[in-house]
Structure 1
Amino acid sequence: MSDNSSAAVATSQARVLTPFDLAHDAWEYSIDAWQRSILFLDVLNQRSTHYHEHQSKTAPNVLKFGWELEVDGRKLSKPVNYALVRIVPPDGQRPDKYKRPFVVVDPRAGHGPGIGGFKPMSEIGVAMKAGHPCYFIGFLPQPVPGQTIEDVARAEAVFLQHVIDLHPEAEGKPAVIGNCQAGWAVMMLAAARPELFGPIIIAGSPLSYWAGAPKQNPMRYTGGVLGGTWLTALLGDAGNGKFDGAWLVSNFENLNPSNTLWSKHYNLYAKIDTEAPRYLEFEDWWGGHVLLNAEEMQYIADQLFVGNKLSSAQMTFLDGARLDLRNIRTPIVVFCSKADNITPPQQALDWVLDLYSTVDDIRAHGQTIVYSVHESIGHLGIFVSGSVAKKEHDQFASNIDLIDVLPPGLYEAVLTPKDPTDPAAEFVTGNYLLRFEQRNLDDIRALGANSEADDREFATVARISEINLGLYRTFMQPWVRAWTNESTAEALRKLHPLRMQYELFSSANPFLQPFLSSTEWSHSFRQPISTDNTFWKLQQQWSDWITASLDAYRDSRDNAIAAWFHAVYGSPLLQALVGLRASDIASSPRPGDDAMHRTLVEQKISELKSRIPDGDPREAVIRALLYIRMPDGVVDERGFNLLRRMREETGRGVKLSAFKKILREQFLMLLIDERSAVNAIPAMLARNPDLASRMKGKLDRMIELVGVYSKDARARLAEIEALFESSEIHMPPEKGMGVSTEGQSVRSPKHH
């Protein structure tokens, strides 16, 4: 059939409207629109009721799990408004006492706690499903007078030590998840107290605050547009020493005006018969505004968002301890998304570029850094999306022990759908195969990074901020504080636009009552219309036009802000006035090399070199496996799960911490002197032939499962097989593994 004839058929099947049809559509639409409007107002009224009920609670949260208080931060020597609670497993679930506990830390960024356990399928939910005990660190709406960010960090250290003490048989320290703003708090504490941590997962967490893609990520320009952090100080003073978190929520909402001003509520209106429960559930968290001490917020703004001092090791605690993220000794998993306009991948990852010059530098500090970049999920979806929980968070929780034993270096976590035909499918947890592929710093730079000129501009903002803050504190602050008291501060909080909307649609509004009186009638006689209705289609088109217009406004606004920022702070004159020259900042600030650390590294290298010939067949097989797999640069869960199963079948055996130590040492020995390390394998095998034979079987099974793919890896496999042959350790022919001349692994015929 030709295109013209197809179009004719489609036209003939299209609805032909008569004046009567239009009148009928208009009548149906008017009834539906009236009922929708009543039901829409009723949902907003319910939202206001929920808001006031939520705010009246002593410890409001949105956790969907039962919990029991473990440690109340208000009772510590330096009291804070934080608390540690134990998550009570649902009926039928019982944690494994040998598995490390998970601790989820929620962000205090304007909202209340609970987002990490907002749904049954969440960070907490998947960790419990994997058999891990779970704990949650949350907070109360009101800060303890005088508490500081450092006080909160020290309280969290007490919480983690308490969790460690509760699980003496657990294999490994707690895995800690820091969401959004909690991510930098967790990293600060881990830098100061690394001995308290197992693997760290930071989800949607900003650590490099100046970073971003060119002409994108407008939130990073806010400090420059406002002239620095003096406005933060003003709001703290106007709040009588407390900063209203609703202002932070406003900043998030301003990023996407089409959603804030239209789409979110139009979606509720258009789906009023089904959308209300989901809308109200989310609004309970989004509207749970909390307060911070003015000193806490000023510290965050000055030291982090404008000063960008965390990733350059310029921050210290009062006892003089320098917060250097290079001190962290446990694996760090960074989970971010390209569609996140609050914490873009650059802000989540560029701290690695600020701290390290090469991947070898990462290894020299004994660090393991893993990152995963989602293509499309938004900022909140990183924590609350069910699809993300079922995929990324589920795999991180199920494979947390594998993450803990990864050799030092930089990796990307790659998830692929599970292949049921894979002979090793039984060793894949969940519906996805998780593998870790080695990366270098250029892979992070490819996501977008600042130029030298960009860094000078942000450094200029930091100095302008110090000047303006000094002017405010000298000339304005005394007057503001003189006119402020708790009554005026509370009045200002109630008049905040985000809070006013709850009052506007509350039952206390007499103008709302006549409409709400029709709610029962609207439910009882509901007459929804078809989406084929002419006026419904016009409504949808109108909504699309409003959304597009607001998006166009947003893009124009953001482009104008970026242009203004670069024009003002890129001025050589302004930079010179604040004492900066082009040569002052050649790149992102990077802390200098520590002479003591260099000495320790040299001593460690010398010690490892002297121990290369040492070890038994266990160390020899691990060294051989690492040697074979290094050219492929990939680690996946199948081999590790095989080892875990073998270990379970033969008793607990070597502890996970001991296995991690062996693995890392063998990996570093190969990096230091690869040839000597390989040549030492026969002598290591000869020390215990029986154990060597058993370990060789495990090596063969491992290679069978994961395969070798590159030409270099296949050549290394042949070399290792020859070394084992020279040690008179043979394997049955049917379990062997041939070496292909093509670019793929080859298993024995019985496994094809």
Structure 2
Amino acid sequence: MHPLDMMKVYGRVAEIYRLRLGEAVSAYGEAMRGAAGTFAAAARPQEPAAAWRDAVSYWSDAAQRNLIFWDTLRQRGNNWIAHEKAGKPPLLAFNYEIIADARTFARPANYALVQITPPDGVTLDPDKRPFLIIDPRAGHGPGIGGFKKDSEVGFALKAGHAVYMVIFFPDPVPGQTLADVSLAEADFLRIVRERHPTRGKPVVMGNCQGGWAAMLVAALDPDNVGSIVMNGAPMSYWAGNDAENPMRYAGGVLGGSWTALLASDLGGGVFDGAYLVDNFEYLNPGNTFFSKYYNLYSRIDSEPDRFLEFERWWGGYFLMNRAEIKWIVENLFVGNKLASGHAEWAPGKTFDLKAVHAPIIVFASLGDNITPPQQAINWVADIYPTTQALKDAGQVVVGLMHDSVGHLGIFVSGAIARREHSQIVDLLEYVEALPPGLYGMTIEEDHSGGEVKYDVTLTEWRVEDLAALQKYDRRDEIPFEVVANVSQTVSQAYESLVHPLLSAVVTPEMGRGLRAVHPLRAARWGLSDLNPFLLHLAPIADFARSQRTPRNENGPLVAAEQFGAKAITAGWDLYRQLRDATVETEFFRLYGTLAMADPDLTAPSTPAIVEQAPAEVAAALASIRAGGFTEAAVRVALLAQKRGGGQRRLSTLKQIRELVGHEVGLLALPADAAQAVIRRQAIIVDRAPDEAFATLPLLLKTPQERSRFLALVDRLMAHIAFGPDITAFVGEVRGLIAGATQSSPDGRVIPFPSYVAGQGA
């Protein structure tokens, strides 16, 4: 790069840094002014007697709160110890039965397949396909998909689906690799399908890192996957925007994958999941060190149960083999090789995401700073650079974006489960009937009847529109390729110089000892009944609970407490913003300089799919005049959607299926065959819409079929209020079929339109 261009880049980085510092200081000042204003309004002078009553009630309450607060932390520690002694079973709100244990497989792994037992009052529908849910193995244990009754598991059961989950045990099988895990999960998928042979292919739902695990399974065994749902799942690890996604810089700041290798060697060849949890807590130190505890203290009469429930899951740290974390870091976190097709599961064998043809639903949130939307969806543009490439590949991708919920809220929030996850489950009954393309999913709420009702709208997007999520057209991803190269060099040096020494010195027993004193564990067993100073806390705290002293929530002392809490939170937020801005700036200064020195580096991209029409497109266009009643109905529906602007409402799709679904014929076909019909007609309508319309009469070969088709159309128009564009189009279809054909004595259709005249019937 020319020195002047380099100076411009440095100037831009410095300018962004200056703006971020200013924004951080401004946000801190605004937060402090707001807190001070609230305090000033509440801290009014009081009469001596009132001030005395306020002080007595406040400090009595504060003493009781402190006793209950520390006793809650003691209970957290006791719960942690009990969970450890029990072997850290999945923290599910449902009973389950183990169906298969991968520890007994030919290539063993510490995974198992379980079936969820429906709770009382829930009846499974024998005609509905099963669900297979894969939870993340990212430091914590399994169970987040069924953590509450209102959850992914809960709403899938309520909808009548049999639900299976992939769980895992705390300790990996010695020598297991990520390939072993993926092959075991593929076996689980086949087992689920064999247990429900008449219900269609299972839906595979992956949470966070369980999302890319689901895609790996689908790439290994695409013929057994029905639809795929990825919730908050990172797939494009380099993606994100400056000032929004600080975790994306962790690999570069730490120098690449060598730190994970060091942690594994210090663990006696085992990687401690507590380090991954540390990474999450690093993102928001204010919450880690203050806010979540003050929230417990300030709501001490209502918060402990929820706090303890969540902390049981948050404090369960699971382990990985050194080879597993090495593969994950080098291929995903730092290497970002999955979307580009370079992630190998065996020598010369890669996970090919282009082999996945199942419909995919991607649920992400703008408020997620662990898996930002760019990381959740950019892989689509990497594999299918254009909308036409996506359609030509026959792929359906549906994107659902939340405005604000954080990463954990995607999985554990009851409100998200009732709204987003319930509608995803509902949509899965229809997503396989969508023509290939990229769709945006929006959820509408109706409060008019006293009970909230939801409806889903699907709007066609263009793959090219995904660029709107990016600030710099992904040019800011170029330095991450330098990080990958640096990581590879440093890791090779580590493996040659340090690993042999540590592996010889650190024994598995020493690794267990080091894990026991990890700060996250020590914070739990240190505040438990193992601590002699807490032995007599429980009865005193119970007495405080039974004798709670009410305080004046509008008094000056409570206002002073809340002012102090807001000030501390604002201070932590200021530190976080300054830290993130500095780390990000130094990242781009270092790796940006190295990237500019290499003219061969460009913005990440994957070689485009062949531009000319693939064989399936050519075959579809060649069959434009072939087919029957089902093909005609599907073609008219697709043409109507095209004329109506490409929007689809789930409530309308349900009405259509109820009114004419069985008559159209798709429901009688196997899922693969039905999808093939839709895909073929979608290609025809997309590539040759005029000819697709003109040749419709050729698909309805007898007067009986034409009469039946027109009756079907009339029934739909009588019961569903379509828009004016679709209504006008239906009139054209009716005129074409009823008036633009004539029957020969043997019933053959002879088309009148000049477009097909002379081509034969």
Q: Which residue of 1 aligns with 2:602?
A: 586
Number of residue pairs the alignment of both structures matches: 699
Checking the alignment, whether the CA contact within 8 Å between 1:350 and 1:444 is kept in structure 2 is yes
Specify whether residues 518 and 14 from structure 1 end up closer, same or farther in structure 2 by C-alpha distance, changes over 3 A only.
closer
The residue type paired with residue 132 of structure 1 is: H
The residue type paired with residue 263 of structure 2 is: L
Specify whether residues 12 and 27 from structure 1 end up closer, same or farther in structure 2 by C-alpha distance, changes over 3 A only.
closer
The residue type paired with residue 84 of structure 1 is: L
Q: Which residue of 1 aligns with 2:134?
A: 105
Checking the alignment, whether the CA contact within 8 Å between 2:88 and 2:141 is kept in structure 1 is no
Counterpart among 174, 184, 188 of residue 216 in structure 2: 188
Residues 253-310 of structure 1: CA distance to partner in whole angstroms, max 9, x if unpaired? Answer: 1101111111101111111111111111111110111001111011111110111101
Instruction: Give the distance between the partners of 1:590 and 1:156, measured in 2 at CA.
Output: 28
Instruction: Give the distance between the partners of 1:293 and 1:479, measured in 2 at CA.
Output: 18
Deviation at 1:708, TM superposition (A): 4.7
Residues 517-562 of structure 1: CA distance to partner in whole angstroms, max 9, x if unpaired? Answer: 4123212221131312321111011001111110111111000011
Instruction: Give the distance between the partners of 2:357 and 2:460, measured in 1 at CA.
Output: 19
Q: Which residue of 1 aligns with 2:180?
A: 151
Instruction: Give the distance between the partners of 1:154 and 1:679, measured in 2 at CA.
Output: 49
Deviation at 1:591, TM superposition (A): 3.7
Q: Which residue of 1 aligns with 2:677?
A: 662
1:634 and 2:656 correspond: no
* Unaligned 5+ runs, structure 1: 1-10, 422-428, 730-752
Q: Secondary structure of 2:338's partner?
A: coil
Specify whether residues 406 and 419 from structure 1 end up closer, same or farther in structure 2 by C-alpha distance, changes over 3 A only.
farther
Instruction: Give the distance between the partners of 1:392 and 1:27, measured in 2 at CA.
Output: 47
Specify whether residues 20 and 451 from structure 1 end up closer, same or farther in structure 2 by C-alpha distance, changes over 3 A only.
same
Deviation at 1:706, TM superposition (A): 5.7
Residues 52-92 of structure 1: CA distance to partner in whole angstroms, max 9, x if unpaired? Answer: 11111235111111101111111110111000001111122
Instruction: Give the distance between the partners of 1:14 and 1:215, measured in 2 at CA.
Output: 37
* Unaligned 5+ runs, structure 2: 1-39, 743-761
Counterpart among 158, 161, 180 of residue 129 in structure 1: 158
Relative to the length of structure 1, the TM-score reads 0.89
Checking the alignment, whether the CA contact within 8 Å between 2:227 and 2:360 is kept in structure 1 is yes
Instruction: Give the distance between the partners of 1:420 and 1:407, measured in 2 at CA.
Output: 33
1:486 and 2:508 correspond: yes
Specify whether residues 349 and 716 from structure 1 end up closer, same or farther in structure 2 by C-alpha distance, changes over 3 A only.
same
Checking the alignment, whether the CA contact within 8 Å between 1:411 and 1:436 is kept in structure 2 is yes
Instruction: Give the distance between the partners of 1:229 and 1:360, measured in 2 at CA.
Output: 37
Residues 195-235 of structure 1: CA distance to partner in whole angstroms, max 9, x if unpaired? Answer: 12111000000000000012320101011111111111100
Q: Which residue of 2 aligns with 1:365?
A: 393
Q: Secondary structure of 1:401's partner?
A: coil
1:86 and 2:100 correspond: no
1:261 and 2:261 correspond: no
Q: Matches of residues 295-314 of structure 1 in structure 2 within 5 Å?
A: 295-314=323-342
Instruction: Give the distance between the partners of 2:262 and 2:669, measured in 1 at CA.
Output: 58
Relative to the length of structure 2, the TM-score reads 0.88
Counterpart among 709, 722, 735 of residue 722 in structure 1: 735
Q: Which residue of 1 aligns with 2:707?
A: 693
The residue type paired with residue 711 of structure 2 is: G
Give the percent of matched residue pairs that are identical in Structure 1 and Structure 2: 39
The residue type paired with residue 308 of structure 1 is: N
Instruction: Give the distance between the partners of 1:356 and 1:699, measured in 2 at CA.
Output: 36
Deviation at 1:319, TM superposition (A): 5.8
Instruction: Give the distance between the partners of 1:636 and 1:93, measured in 2 at CA.
Output: 28
Q: Which residue of 2 aligns with 1:505?
A: 527
Q: Secondary structure of 2:113's partner?
A: strand
Q: Matches of residues 82-481 of structure 1 in structure 2 within 5 Å?
A: 82-170=111-199, 172-318=200-346, 320-418=348-446, 431-448=453-470, 450-451=472-473, 453-481=475-503
Q: Secondary structure of 1:350's partner?
A: helix
Q: Which residue of 2 aligns with 1:56?
A: 85
Instruction: Determine which structure has greater relative contact order: mean sequence separation of CA pairs < 8 Å that are 6+ residues apart, divided by chain length.
Output: 2
Checking the alignment, whether the CA contact within 8 Å between 1:412 and 1:437 is kept in structure 2 is yes
Q: Secondary structure of 1:100's partner?
A: coil
Checking the alignment, whether the CA contact within 8 Å between 1:72 and 1:83 is kept in structure 2 is yes
Counterpart among 47, 67, 88 of residue 76 in structure 2: 47
Specify whether residues 539 and 419 from structure 1 end up closer, same or farther in structure 2 by C-alpha distance, changes over 3 A only.
closer
Q: Secondary structure of 1:313's partner?
A: coil
Counterpart among 671, 693, 699 of residue 678 in structure 1: 693
Specify whether residues 12 and 474 from structure 1 end up closer, same or farther in structure 2 by C-alpha distance, changes over 3 A only.
closer
The residue type paired with residue 164 of structure 1 is: R
Specify whether residues 143 and 99 from structure 1 end up closer, same or farther in structure 2 by C-alpha distance, changes over 3 A only.
same
Q: Which residue of 2 aligns with 1:426?
A: none
Instruction: Give the distance between the partners of 2:67 and 2:712, measured in 1 at CA.
Output: 68
Specify whether residues 555 and 135 from structure 1 end up closer, same or farther in structure 2 by C-alpha distance, changes over 3 A only.
same
1:37 and 2:66 correspond: yes
Q: Secondary structure of 2:401's partner?
A: strand
Residues 2-48 of structure 1: CA distance to partner in whole angstroms, max 9, x if unpaired? Answer: xxxxxxxxx99996502332222111111111111111111111111
Counterpart among 557, 562, 578 of residue 535 in structure 1: 557
Checking the alignment, whether the CA contact within 8 Å between 1:616 and 1:688 is kept in structure 2 is no
Checking the alignment, whether the CA contact within 8 Å between 2:269 and 2:503 is kept in structure 1 is no
